[in-house]
Structures are given as structure tokens and as C-alpha cells.
Amino acid sequence: MSLKKIPYQTGQQLLACFTASDEAHALVTEPLGILETIELLDKEGLHFDLMQFIAHGLPVRESIWWASLCLNLRNNDWHPNQIQAIELCQSWVKKPDEVLRRRIELMLNKMSLNCGPSWLLQAVFWNGSGSIVAPSLPAVMPDPHLYAKATAGAVNMAAALPDWQGQVNYYQQATATAINIANGGNGQQPS
């Protein structure tokens, strides 16, 4: 089964877009579909690879939106400025523009890259819509998959830090949310 927002036909094609673990490569040796690959990585507990797989598979805005929803699962653990960072990124997804992207850069510069929300800010800044150097310098565009590395970093970091016991449930919810988005949904699961 294909997922309409993920433009790849097989898991092997998508695994080639990032540095997956040896275990993931050994597991996906035949041309499985995207959903089948997601299910296999999940079943085998290769969540770190799975979150990278999803982040690289979804289009930019959908990937960042997905990560923001995943980070919302930990809202009780975030400081007010981290919640503000997530909300700012969600605003950018809804209405992307350069002024907001540069505002996100300023917020990012005030935070350390040591939590999920800071990596989400980085994903927006690296999304590919503008230069990643100061506006006064000649434009330097990011690598096309740089945003996905930051998005996956945000989701995986939030799974681990701050320390908690909810990783398994978190990854299950993150995967379900991604599948919903990949099928054209908004990531909100029906109650």
C-alpha cells in the first residue's frame, strides 16, 4: 500500500536518503512498500531509524507539522519557551514566510540544540525556502534533506529527553500520527 504524501514506492528507495542503521538495511532487503517498511521497522523496535524514515519521506511542511505534534505529546515536560518554539513552528507550517523563518532563527540562536523543540526550530530554519546564512551575505541554501535530519532529531530527542518511561507509547503515537499525515490527514487521530 502506498501513502499519498510519501513520493517513494519502496522502503529501499527511502532508506537510501539517510544513514540508516546496519540493522535497518539488513531488515529491508527486498522492495517492500512504504507502509510495509514502516510496520517492519516498528515491529523490530528500530524506532530511531523509523523516525528518520518518516521525516525523510514526508514533504517539508508535513514533516515539520508531524514533528510538532509529536513534541506536543510531551507538553507537560517543556518549559514555556520550548512550548512557544513549538507553537511558532506550527505557525510557520500553517503560513510559511521568510520573516517568520528568520524570527525562528533568532529564537533558535537563544536556545541550545539539546531538546526536541530546539531541533524543531532548526528544521524550520533549514527547510529549504531561504538561505541559512545572515541575510547580508550571499545566499547559501541547505542540503535538500537537512530539514529532515533536524525533524527526525526533534522527534527522537523528545522520545528520550527529558528522561521518562513513555518511549514505547510515544513512538506508537508518533508512527500513527505520521501515517495519518501521509494519508492526507492533519495528524489528529479520531477519538
Question: Among 144, 150, 161, which residue's Cα sits nearest to residue 51?
Answer: 150
Answer for the pair 65, 96: CB distance below 8 angstroms, yes or no.
no
Q: pLDDT in tens for each of the 191 residues of the chain?
A: 689 999 999 999 999 999 999 999 999 999 899 999 999 999 999 999 999 999 999 999 999 999 999 999 999 999 999 999 999 999 999 999 999 999 999 999 999 889 999 999 999 999 999 999 999 999 999 999 999 999 999 999 999 998 999 999 999 999 999 999 999 999 986 54
Q: Residue 1: its pLDDT value, please?
A: 63
pLDDT at site 188: 83
DSSP output for 86-128: HHHHHHHHHS--HHHHHHHHHHHHHS-S-SHHHHHHHHHHTSS
Q: What is the pLDDT of residue 2?
A: 80
End-to-end CA distance of the chain: 24
Element (H, E) at 153: helix 146-160
Instruction: State the pTM of this model.
Output: 0.95
